[in-house]
């Protein structure tokens, strides 16, 4: 399901505030939306950097009553909730992952990413697949900086790719 304009606006400012912190992750989104003390600690840098945009947004959001805040965040929260299962939180909540896709390519390793829809759920599997594929694509594009005669060829196999890539038909 797509997000409406208000949910998109809320998500944009939440992600912008989280992106300014080294210790933040996507799993903090629900807490950012529901805990005023936590929200102030996260958003203060964004507000200082952009008092007109982020500052006015967070002033508006913080002025909402708890009931009104709950009402405006409900559509976004409903879409986030299935993506923040314990399994996905363990993946998305890492601020210092143990490996990165670039290592897999440069060190000739094998990466297996189990995306069983029956275990993760459809939305969670889609999100995880999109994140891994985006990271893989970025790592492959960065290999252009390595001289061609120094580059080790890599092979990528994506089982059931049609379930995770939205290509025109």
Q: Is residue 70 domain-shared with residue 15, that is, in the same domain? A: yes
pLDDT of 87-106, one tens digit each?
Answer: 888 887 787 777 788 888 88
Domain extent for 63: 5-82
Nearest-Å Rg of the Cα atoms of the chain is 19
Residues 74 and 107 in one domain: no
Mark whether 72 and 140 lie in a shared domain.
no
Q: Which of 99, 124, 121 is nearest to 110 (CA)?
A: 99
Number of domains in the chain: 2
Average pLDDT over residues 150-157: 88
Average of per-residue pLDDT across 94-123: 84
* pLDDT band for position 145 (cuts 50, 70, 90): very high
Helix (H, G, I), strand (E, B) or coil at 119: helix
In a domain, residue 94? The reply is no
DSSP state of 111: -
């Amino acid at each position: 399901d797509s997000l409406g304009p208000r949910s998109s606006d809320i998500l944009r400012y939440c992600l912008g505030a989280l992106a300014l912190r080294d210790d933040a992750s996507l799993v903090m989104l629900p807490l950012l939306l529901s805990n005023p003390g936590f929200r102030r600690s996260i958003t203060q840098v964004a507000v200082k950097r952009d008092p007109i945009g982020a500052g006015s947004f967070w002033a508006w959001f913080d002025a909402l009553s708890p009931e009104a805040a709950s009402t405006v965040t409900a559509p976004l929260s409903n879409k986030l909730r299935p993506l923040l299962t314990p399994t996905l939180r363990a993946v998305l909540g890492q601020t210092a992952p143990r490996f990165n896709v670039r290592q897999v390519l440069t060190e000739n390793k094998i990466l297996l990413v189990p995306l069983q829809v029956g275990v993760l759920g459809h939305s969670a599997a889609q999100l995880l697949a999109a994140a891994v594929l985006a990271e893989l694509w970025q790592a492959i594009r960065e290999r252009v900086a390595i001289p061609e005669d120094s580059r080790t060829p890599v092979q990528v196999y994506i089982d059931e790719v049609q379930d995770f890539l939205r290509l025109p038909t």
